[in-house]
């Protein structure tokens, strides 16, 4: 290959002299300026020589041949190759505020908090000062049985900064576990920052990454080749960084330095870095010795942000020895003994000493918890985020329900609240009273929940009894998730919204959760139901419903953040399975005998590189002859807020069924397409496509349209609802499935998602819309 042009070579001969020796490749001589003067020597770590653009190929590439050798020995080198493995693990997570400018620190509003800034740390993040505010330490014993694949981590002690009742410490812990999920580079796919990345040593990695040999060096006493890897396409959800590969014939990863490619669409993430170090065990295999993860989060590069660091160390390894069965017994992770370890315990067992700023975090949090000003600030934030105001033993709320509107009740005022653990750790009271200025009626609710453990009803695992009585309205068929009944957010709706149930309900239930996230709920419910607004039961003035129910739920490895009355799930790759059986019987006080069965399965899938898919399958069956209020009234949405588990262009009470099956599929490309379009890619937008399909049917025995008035009276059926002009407004799914699909843009201003929705079937039904635009606020990384 002929090379034309000028080349300059730096030659260093011991410490005598350094000379620049320019020469030309066309045979002509050039006189060196080094003959006339001495050149100062500058020592550098690495010299990169860049030539013209050369097409990258896998074939005949020494770097790719090296990674192929790594893949060939991958299974032999991973720690799961031992017959058994035990070790002690110490984990430390520290979160700090970043970009605390002088202007912010000098604000009069923060005068009472000046002492906090005494704990500024200039060593944690090179080049800037950060303010550590949260720390969690955890010491645990890990056991792995290679023959059965069983693994268990027993927590011996956990210590963290707490803000008493102001925040859900357990929920914060779950969020941190989710954010800092264990990274195993030996897996084909790595779950990191709520996304799935292809590992640089995945079996398909050479298809997605480029590899370059940059150096040979000694690392931890091992002769290694330093291998740089980078995505072939900078816009794809892939890593970049360095692998240190041993050159003794084992081709093991001695060290990995991994960063998230800065060109990809990761929300709130400024920078992230993973460093893992491995060592050769005395049994020949390789084990993880050090594991560090740093994440820099914030809305903008220069604005206030957070810097999170997780450091994990491992020691006291035991290989290939029998493991007592007790090591695999699941512990109560929330046991008081785990959290009550004193200073002596941590001084003896902590793998690394805390720095001065880390010790100061505990002292700072104690001081803040005792400050009235801080408590008032947290209470204000609680009103904004959780919609409750704290009065000590009682919390007033939800604030979002104090005023709402619907066409039947008109303007509606409501006030209510719930007791806190300061009132009683084991007994919780809740209730509200409301008044509709349109229907001139009072509504109310009073309930009590009794914890059957020494924990509150908000602490996992829960075992409780609950009793409640209420008189309330309910939109037919609507099941709300993460939004309170009567919320102001639902006051603005499209179309005709004039049908309500007035329910008087007495309910008792027993709830039991287990450590493996299996739970069941046993309940009795009696409801006297009357129609309201434009709803009519025909000749039947009211409907009595008496039911016994069993709910089973299994959500392995479930993570969630506990709000005041609901748990907000943190999505992960594990499925959630739910089954419900309800028995309606006249002996229970009802007017009808029937059986209701329902099954629901949901899961998030992570097809590598192209984002993730949320899928939900549900099926249900009603056995018996019942009127339409006891049929399946499919979950519609007439608000302008996008609802993931409801049909956003279906009207309330538009369809009823006694058997049905539905499928929801929502795929988020995470910017896979938009991130490749010039100009648009800088906006960080994400594309989403959604498809919802509902198959259903109504048996002849439950279809009033197929029966005479005499038979309807005999069987107790009611005519299906009509509009104010006497035209049908409720239908059956006898002409095929109901379908709607949408195309959405997410991550607008990092929090907003907007969907354009198209209704595909039953487009001739009255008072419907074929197209719609819906929005929702959603926080995603």
Contact 493, 638 (CB under 8 A): yes
Q: Look at residues 650, 656, 649 and name the one whose alpha carbon lies nearest to residue 633.
A: 656
**Size of the chain in residues:** 781
pLDDT at 42: 54
Query: 247-258 burial, b if ≥16 CB within 10 A, otherwise e?
Result: eeebbbbbbbbb
pLDDT per 10-residue tile (average), the chain, 781 residues: 46 38 44 45 57 78 95 89 90 90 75 82 80 92 86 90 69 78 90 86 94 90 93 87 94 94 79 93 86 89 86 92 72 67 92 90 84 80 79 90 94 95 93 96 98 90 97 89 73 89 98 95 98 90 97 91 70 93 97 98 88 96 96 95 94 97 96 87 91 97 86 84 91 97 94 96 96 90 71
Whether this model's pTM surpasses 0.85: no
pLDDT at 32: 43
Between strands 463-474 and 543-554, the pairing is unpaired
Residue matched to tokens 């005949």: 60
Write the Ramachandran bin of 287: left for phi over 0, alpha for psi from -120 to 50, otherwise beta: beta
Domain boundaries along the sequence of the chain: 1-47, 67-316+328-369
d(CA 643, CA 645): 6
d(CA 584, CA 596): 8
Element (H, E) at 257: strand 253-260
At 734 the three-state DSSP class reads coil
Quick one: angle between helices 356-369 and 372-385, nearest 10? 80
Contact 192, 199 (CB under 8 A): no
Q: Look at residues 20, 68, 67 and name the one whose alpha carbon lies nearest to residue 41.
A: 20
pLDDT at 15: 36
Between strands 686-697 and 738-748, the pairing is antiparallel
Which token pair is 34? 């080094």
d(CA 482, CA 644): 11
Which token pair is 505? 């309900």
Q: Which residues contact 273 (CB under 8 A, 6 or more apart)?
A: 257, 258, 259, 293, 294
Q: Look at residues 137, 143, 155, 156 and name the one whose alpha carbon lies nearest to residue 87.
A: 143
Q: CA 530 → CA 267, 444, 505, 544, 633, distances in Å?
A: 48, 16, 12, 9, 16
Radius of gyration of the chain (CA): 32
Which token pair is 118? 């005494």
d(CA 547, CA 629): 14
Contact 216, 223 (CB under 8 A): yes
Query: Which own/partner contact pairs does 672-677 have at CB distance under 8 Å and 24+ positions apart?
Result: 672/235, 672/236, 672/237, 672/609, 672/610, 672/611, 674/265, 675/235, 675/263, 675/264, 675/265, 676/233, 676/235
Quick one: the chain helix, strand, coil %, rounded to 5? Answer: 15, 45, 40
Contact 128, 98 (CB under 8 A): yes
Q: What angle do CA 443, 449, 453 make, to 5 degrees?
A: 170
pLDDT at 47: 58
Which token pair is 352? 């690394």
Write the Ramachandran bin of 618: left for phi over 0, alpha for psi from -120 to 50, otherwise beta: beta
**DSSP letter (8 states) at residue 175:** H
pLDDT at 167: 65
Q: Which residues contact 516 (CB under 8 A, 6 or more apart)?
A: 330, 556
Which token pair is 447? 């309930």
Contact 443, 434 (CB under 8 A): yes
pLDDT at 327: 65
Which token pair is 614? 């949320």
Q: What angle do CA 540, 546, 550 make, to 5 degrees?
A: 140
Which token pair is 212? 């370059």
Which token pair is 275? 């460093």
Number of neighbouring beta carbons within 10 Å of residue 265? 22
Which token pair is 636? 């519609």
Q: CA 645 → CA 311, 475, 614, 637, distances in Å?
A: 38, 16, 11, 9
Contact 602, 575 (CB under 8 A): yes
Which token pair is 201? 């040593």
């Amino acid at each position: 290959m002929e090379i034309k042009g000028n080349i300059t070579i730096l030659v260093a001969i011991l410490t005598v002299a350094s000379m620049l020796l320019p020469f030309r490749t066309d045979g002509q001589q050039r006189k060196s300026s080094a003959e006339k003067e001495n050149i100062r020597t500058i020592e550098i770590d690495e010299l990169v020589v860049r030539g013209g653009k050369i097409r990258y190929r896998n074939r005949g590439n020494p770097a790719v041949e090296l990674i192929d050798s790594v893949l060939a020995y991958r299974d032999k080198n991973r720690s799961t190759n031992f017959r058994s493995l035990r070790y002690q693990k110490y984990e430390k997570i520290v979160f700090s505020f970043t970009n605390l400018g002088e202007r912010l620190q000098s604000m009069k509003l923060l005068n009472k908090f000046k002492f906090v800034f005494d704990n500024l740390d200039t060593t944690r993040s090179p080049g800037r000062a950060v303010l550590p505010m949260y720390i969690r330490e955890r010491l645990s014993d890990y056991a792995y049985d290679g023959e059965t694949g069983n693994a268990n981590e027993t927590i011996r002690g956990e210590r963290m900064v707490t803000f008493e009742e102001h925040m859900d410490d357990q929920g914060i812990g779950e969020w941190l576990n989710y954010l800092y999920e264990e990274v195993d580079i030996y897996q084909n796919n790595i779950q990191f920052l709520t996304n799935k990345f292809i590992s640089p040593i995945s079996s398909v990695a050479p298809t997605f990454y480029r590899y370059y040999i940059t150096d040979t060096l000694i690392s931890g006493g091992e002769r290694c080749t330093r291998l740089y890897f980078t995505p072939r396409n900078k816009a794809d959800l892939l890593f970049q960084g360095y692998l240190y590969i041993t050159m003794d014939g084992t081709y093991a990863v001695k060290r990995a330095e991994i960063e998230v490619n800065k060109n990809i669409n990761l929300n709130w993430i400024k920078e992230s870095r993973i460093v893992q170090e491995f060592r050769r065990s005395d049994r020949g295999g390789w084990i993880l010795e050090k594991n560090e993860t740093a994440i820099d989060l914030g809305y903008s590069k220069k604005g206030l942000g957070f810097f999170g660091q997780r450091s994990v160390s491992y020691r006291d390894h035991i290989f290939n020895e029998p493991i007592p069965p007790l090591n695999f017994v699941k512990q109560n992770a929330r046991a008081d003994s785990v959290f009550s370890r004193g200073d002596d315990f941590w001084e003896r067992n902590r793998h690394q000493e805390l720095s001065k700023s880390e010790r100061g975090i505990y002292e700072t949090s104690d001081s803040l918890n005792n400050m009235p000003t801080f408590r008032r600030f947290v209470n204000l934030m609680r009103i904004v985020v959780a919609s409750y105001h704290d009065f000590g033993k009682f919390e007033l709320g939800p604030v979002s329900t104090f005023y709402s509107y619907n066409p039947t009740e008109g303007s509606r005022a409501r006030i209510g609240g719930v007791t806190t653990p300061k009132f009683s750790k084991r007994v919780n009271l809740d209730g509200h009273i409301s008044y509709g200025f349109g229907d001139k009626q009072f509504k109310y609710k009073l309930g009590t929940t009794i914890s059957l453990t020494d924990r509150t009803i908000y602490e996992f695992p829960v075992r409780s009894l609950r009793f409640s009585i209420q008189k309330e309205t309910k939109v037919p068929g609507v099941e709300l998730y993460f939004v309170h009944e009567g919320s102001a957010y639902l006051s603005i709706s499209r179309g005709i919204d004039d049908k309500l149930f007035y329910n008087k309900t007495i309910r008792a239930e027993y709830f039991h959760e287990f450590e493996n996230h299996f739970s069941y709920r046993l309940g009795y419910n009696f409801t006297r139901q009357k129609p309201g607004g434009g709803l009519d039961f025909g000749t039947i003035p009211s409907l009595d419903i008496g039911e016994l129910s069993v709910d089973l739920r299994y959500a392995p490895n479930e993570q969630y953040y506990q709000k005041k009355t609901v748990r907000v799930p943190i999505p992960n790759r594990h499925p959630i399975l739910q089954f419900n059986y309800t028995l309606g019987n006249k002996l229970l006080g009802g007017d009808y005998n029937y059986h209701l069965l329902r099954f629901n399965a949901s899961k998030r899938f992570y097809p590598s590189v192209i984002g993730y898919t949320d899928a939900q399958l549900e099926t249900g069956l009603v056995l018996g002859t019942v009127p339409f209020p006891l049929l399946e009234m499919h979950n519609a949405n007439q608000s302008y807020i996008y609802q993931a588990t409801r049909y956003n262009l279906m009207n309330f009470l538009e369809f009823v069924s006694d058997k049905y099956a539905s499928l929801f599929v929502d795929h988020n490309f995470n910017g896979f397409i938009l991130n490749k379009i010039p100009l648009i890619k800088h906006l960080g937008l994400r594309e989403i496509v959604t498809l919802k399909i509902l198959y259903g049917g109504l048996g002849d025995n439950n279809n009033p349209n197929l029966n005479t008035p005499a038979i309807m009276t005999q069987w107790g059926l009611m005519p299906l609802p009509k509009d104010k002009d006497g035209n049908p407004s409720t239908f059956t799914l006898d002409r095929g499935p109901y379908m709607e699909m949408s195309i959405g843009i997410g991550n607008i201003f990092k929090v907003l998602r907007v969907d354009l929705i198209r209704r595909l079937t039953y487009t001739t039904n009255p008072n419907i819309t074929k197209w719609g635009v819906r929005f929702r606020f959603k926080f995603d990384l």
